[in-house]
A and B are shown apart, each in its own frame.
Chain A
């Protein structure tokens, strides 16, 4: 399956009468886009702000971040979630580099659990979103709209805006072109038979918080009792998976720009053969966890014939166990594993870092401690929230884009 990403670079974003990209400057027709998004009956009022890298600006109440993408050929935008159902991952997709759609949550009474983005200052280097021009959408719920209805509406707004912006790129040739072309895992040329076959096991949701009926994750499906399944990596790069409502250390942006998939593609055909992607969910009951671990390991070992596998998880602490059980079964069958975990310690102690202890799981990478605190300086401007313009002490987990559980970030917890 072959996917082409046609990238257009954006150096600056500004407000304009209509959305247009020319000479690396993206003008956003704010009135038009606002009206389009506000037409959703679940929303009462929509406001769009722009935030630029280097500004003394804090974006508060962040719900999720979306990467601008628009299909030009070969399928619908975010099939099943926004566009009509079909497969993602082939044909041609337009993408904007240097721009992100940030959606804020204006319903939750206490913003303490929501994330922030600082466009400058000491933590700006940690987050990709301090380096993108951000189109920040704040939308208020219509009267008597419940929580999951509102969050579903927010996601729709984010996806619509992401498509709208990327469509501006279609007017001109792209700046760069990326080709993702991977044959089925059975079609390995003889010359590459000796290279290790590597699979990525992608945990896409954790049912510690069961999905709502309108909380689509995979092609719009809420993956409620999802058994392990296989997808082609292009499907993930082309919008088949979006993040659920719980945003702990994951953005849809990072999923769209999936770093493990991109890294395995970069090495494919040279130091490894990218043999496929297994999708799993983390379960809330032990029998489901055991079944899923056995089936996922089965897909890795017996169906895809992997020599090694990279694992990521989503959600909080318990999903580490789902991931570890699957990986332990792979190791028991001779398949080597590397896992990306979080430092779960709440007191900075070594013992508290990990929630599992399976022998053989000796190749662990960590995405840092979400609990560790850091102080943010005062800023001149706040978007998406009332205050906090002053100094604020937050946890690293509250800085949107500082910790991405799919492995997009450089923060790591080091033992001292």
Chain B
């Protein structure tokens, strides 16, 4: 749903792992799922540390 976030003017937008489990993935074993969650949260921290001037999506890259 990142395009909606861009449209309404959120400035720091991190792509997560899906509507029904944004910070997880039920198909993964628990440790891998937690590692995925941590990666996404770390990306959020990176976004908080980054100067932005307009809605910016911090993408998933190679997670999927």
Contacts and interface: CB of A to CB of B under 8 A. Distances in A.
B4 A356 contact: yes
B64 A321 contact: no
Contacts of B17: 285
A355 B1 CA distance: 10
Contact of B18 (A284, A325, A355): A284
- In this complex, the interface size class of chain B, counting residues with CB under 8 Å from chain A, is 10 to 19
A286 B4 contact: no
Given A208-B19, A284-B19, A318 B1 contact: yes
Nearest to B20: A284
B21 to A, nearest CB: 9
A324 B19 CA distance: 18
Given A325-B3, A357-B7, A318 B60 contact: no
- Which of A208, A324, A357: most chain B CB closer than 10 A? A357
Contacts of A325: 3
Interface string A80-100: 000000000000000000000
A286 B16 CA distance: 8
4 closest Cβ contacts across the A-B interface?
A285-B18, A287-B64, A284-B19, A357-B7
A388 interface: no
Contacts of A285: 17-19, 64
Given A285-B64, A286-B60, A287-B60, A321 B3 contact: yes
B19 A355 contact: no
Given A284-B20, A286-B2, A356 B15 contact: no
A317 to B, nearest CB: 8
B-side interface mostly: loop
Interface of A: 208, 210, 284-287, 318, 321, 324-325, 355-358
Interface of B: 1-4, 7, 15-20, 60, 64
B18 A324 contact: no
A318 B19 CA distance: 9
Contact of B4 (A210, A287, A321): A321
A356 B7 contact: yes
Contacts of B60: 286-287
B3 A356 contact: yes
Nearest to A318: B1
Contacts of B19: 208, 284-285, 318
Contacts of B20: 208, 210, 284
Contacts of A286: 1-2, 15-16, 18, 60
A324 B64 CA distance: 22
